[in-house]
A and B are shown apart, each in its own frame.
Chain A
């Protein structure tokens, strides 16, 4: 309850690593993650008086960091060129293109059961390693959109506003990113 009992240096000991990993999961770049955590602590020092200890320090710090991450991703998104690449799953052609069964899964590439089950404590680590590899390989703009929605957990309206994209455009990007991540997971989990 009494934030004055802890010094800012202790904040770093207690929450620094957590915040760093929180940032890293969203910006995928260790230098940016470190910079963002640094800025977060500096901002926290400045607004220390305003923090009344109503919430745990970690929650307060994470809130500051979250805003900084979103700002960072928004800036990066705008610097990146529009991506027109065909994704690997699109090249593969997962759906039939003709006949009565047009737009149904092709049997050879339809979803298969995953060999690694993320709900299993022991297998989770392996699952995450593969998942991170798959999101890292998305084209940069799609990766940002996917991250903001699925990891930062922003509402779609907010992402549209932040990135200046239409709802339809955002939705198409999200769907393509999800299709690609799922297919990539399947290929590597069952490899």
Chain B
């Protein structure tokens, strides 16, 4: 792309700080179609924000598919069991 056009497009897009805010907003209440386009376009130009978005997505993915261990301290289980037995 012509460098002047590229620069012009870049200047019309929201700065990185705003892009990170839009990414959060999108997750919590959704953003408008126009805002989404601006984020998409910004990311084409900006490797930092592209990484930021990828990292936030993989962070959420991990948090939501947390694999819980199936073991706990034996004394905790013992105490809980006693309470259950005493109240059964």
Contacts and interface: CB of A to CB of B under 8 A. Distances in A.
A127 interface: yes
Interface in A1-48: 7-9, 11-13, 16-18, 20-22, 25, 30, 34, 37-38, 41-42, 45
B79 interface: yes
A17 B87 contact: no
Interface string B43-66: 000101101100110111111101
A178 interface: yes
B34 interface: no
Contacts of B61: 118
A175 B17 CA distance: 11
A182 interface: yes
A127 B67 CA distance: 12
Interface string A102-137: 111100001111100011000010011001000000
A165 interface: no
Interface in B32-88: 46, 48-49, 51-52, 55-56, 58-64, 66-72, 76-77, 79-81, 83-85, 87-88
A112 B28 CA distance: 25
A156 B28 contact: yes
Contacts of A128: 62, 66
A174 to B, nearest CB: 6
Interface of A: 7-9, 11-13, 16-18, 20-22, 25, 30, 34, 37-38, 41-42, 45, 95, 101-105, 110-114, 118-119, 124, 127-128, 131, 149-151, 153, 156, 167, 170-171, 174-175, 178-179, 181-182, 185-186
25 contacts: A8-B84, A9-B88, A11-B84, A12-B77, A13-B77, A16-B80, A17-B71, A20-B72, A21-B72, A34-B76, A38-B83, A41-B84, A45-B87, A103-B17, A104-B15, A114-B55, A118-B58, A118-B59, A118-B62, A124-B62, A127-B62, A150-B64, A171-B25, A175-B21, A179-B20
